[in-house]
């Protein structure tokens, strides 16, 4: 037994607990918390409505941000890369875009255009008539500087007057003619005469058929065929009504290009002309050929046709 201050004594085996010390009586003997209870796994409950709203808001914010970024990127590209491509078009394409079809029409080739169509058969085939040569009779006398045949007369231009002797021509009588030298034995020649179709061929066929027949026969006579050739190129052809000195007429005309251009040095083409005129005493005609590629001769032809007159 011990003695404490205050004179009170306490028994060593007193059963009263001391309140100043912790009570470990309910814990395990080793002084650690008891974790050996079999509680099992914990199951989480469903998320609250508030949590769901928060998740949706976050997702929408992310999507909205992505859309804004794409829109900004597209705007930048449209103002840089795409605009530069549009502002610098190909020059040819730009000019084509400015064209307009207003006032235009579809091109339809003209089958009568000598540049794209072959000449009508009357200029290339053999004569469609017999090319009958009537008995020639002398023409009325001509005044100086003029040539007369049948009921027609023309004025000789400067450079003409070389003369021309005509023995026969298909469907013409009372023939008068003159010429101008081209080269060697080749001349530009124009004949005038009275038209004469025999009755056994049906007689006079009219202006156009007569002009065609006289043209075909002249273009295939041996004298001109020797230079034209069997298959010459034919251009600038026409067959149409006209007027001579106020009188009805028909002209057939074409340019014949020599099949062998080496025949002459100074010329390789001739204009063949046939004109039939309804003169008072029966039809009369002019027929001949003039160098087409010599300017003076070509102009002489124009002058002669302009001076052609009815003299009956």
Assigned domain for 34 exists: no
Q: Does the pLDDT of residue 170 top 90, yes or no?
A: yes
Assigned domain for 108 exists: no
Query: Which of 3-7, 23-27, 153-157 tops mean pLDDT?
Result: 153-157
This prediction's pTM: 0.64
For residue range 110-143, what is the model confidence (pLDDT) as tens digits?
Answer: 655 655 567 788 787 778 889 999 988 888 888 8
pLDDT for the residue numbered 127: 86
pLDDT for the residue numbered 48: 64
Q: What is the CATH number of the domain that holds 219?
A: 3.40.1000.10
pLDDT for the residue numbered 61: 72
Q: How many domains does the chain have?
A: 1
Assigned domain for 63 exists: no
pLDDT for the residue numbered 9: 42
Strand partners, 86: none
DSSP output for the chain = ----TTS----TT--S--TTS---TTS-TTSS--------PPPPPPPPHHHHHHHHHHHHHHHHHHHHHHHHHHHHHHHTHHHHHHHS--HHHHHHHH---TT-------TT-TTTSPPPGGGTSPPSS----PPP-PPPPPPTTEEEETTEEEEPPTT---------BTTEEEEEEEEEEEETTEEEEEEEEEE---GGGTS---HHHHHHHHHHHHHTSHHHHHHH-SS-EEEEEEEEEEEETTEEEEEEEEEEE-SSGGG-SS--EEEEEEEEE--TTS-EEEEEEEESSSHHHHHHHHHHHHH-EE--
Assigned domain for 106 exists: no
For residue range 82-116, what is the model confidence (pLDDT) as tens digits?
Answer: 555 555 555 444 443 344 445 444 545 565 565 55
Assigned domain for 111 exists: no
Q: Does the pLDDT of residue 209 top 90, yes or no?
A: yes
pLDDT for the residue numbered 103: 47
Mean pLDDT score of the chain, rounded to an integer? 79
Assigned domain for 181 exists: yes
Assigned domain for 52 exists: no
For residue range 212-268, what is the model confidence (pLDDT) as tens digits?
Answer: 999 999 998 888 888 999 889 999 999 999 999 999 999 999 999 999 999 999 999
Assigned domain for 185 exists: yes
Q: Residue 282 belongs to what domain range?
A: 132-310
pLDDT for the residue numbered 263: 92
């Amino acid at each position: 037994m011990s003695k404490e201050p205050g004179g009170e004594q306490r028994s060593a085996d007193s059963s009263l607990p001391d309140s100043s010390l912790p009570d470990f009586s309910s814990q395990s003997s080793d002084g650690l918390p008891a974790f050996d209870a079999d509680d099992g796994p914990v199951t989480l409950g469903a998320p609250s409505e508030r949590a769901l709203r928060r998740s949706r808001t976050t997702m929408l914010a992310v999507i909205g941000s992505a859309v804004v970024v794409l829109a900004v990127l597209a705007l930048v590209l449209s103002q840089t890369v795409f605009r530069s491509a549009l502002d610098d078009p190909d020059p040819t394409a730009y000019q084509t875009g400015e064209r307009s079809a207003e006032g235009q029409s579809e091109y339809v080739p003209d089958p009568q255009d000598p540049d794209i169509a072959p000449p009508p058969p009357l200029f290339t085939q053999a004569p469609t008539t017999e090319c009958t040569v009537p008995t020639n009779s002398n023409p009325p006398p001509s005044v100086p500087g003029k040539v007369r045949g049948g009921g027609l007369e023309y004025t000789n231009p400067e450079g003409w007057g070389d003369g021309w002797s005509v023995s026969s021509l298909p469907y013409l009588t009372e023939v008068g003619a003159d010429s101008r030298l081209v080269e060697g034995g080749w001349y530009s020649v124009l004949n005038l005469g009275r038209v004469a179709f025999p009755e056994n061929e049906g007689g006079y066929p009219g202006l156009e058929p007569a002009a065609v027949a006289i043209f075909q026969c002249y273009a295939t006579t041996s004298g001109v065929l020797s230079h034209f050739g069997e298959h010459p190129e034919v251009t600038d052809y026409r067959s149409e009504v006209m007027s001579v000195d106020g009188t009805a007429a028909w002209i057939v005309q074409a340019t014949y290009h020599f099949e062998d251009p080496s025949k002459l040095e100074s010329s390789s083409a001739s204009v063949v002309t046939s004109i039939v005129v309804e003169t008072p005493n029966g039809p009369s005609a002019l027929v001949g050929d003039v160098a087409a590629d010599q300017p003076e001769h070509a102009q002489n032809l124009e002058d002669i046709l302009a001076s052609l007159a009815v003299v009956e």
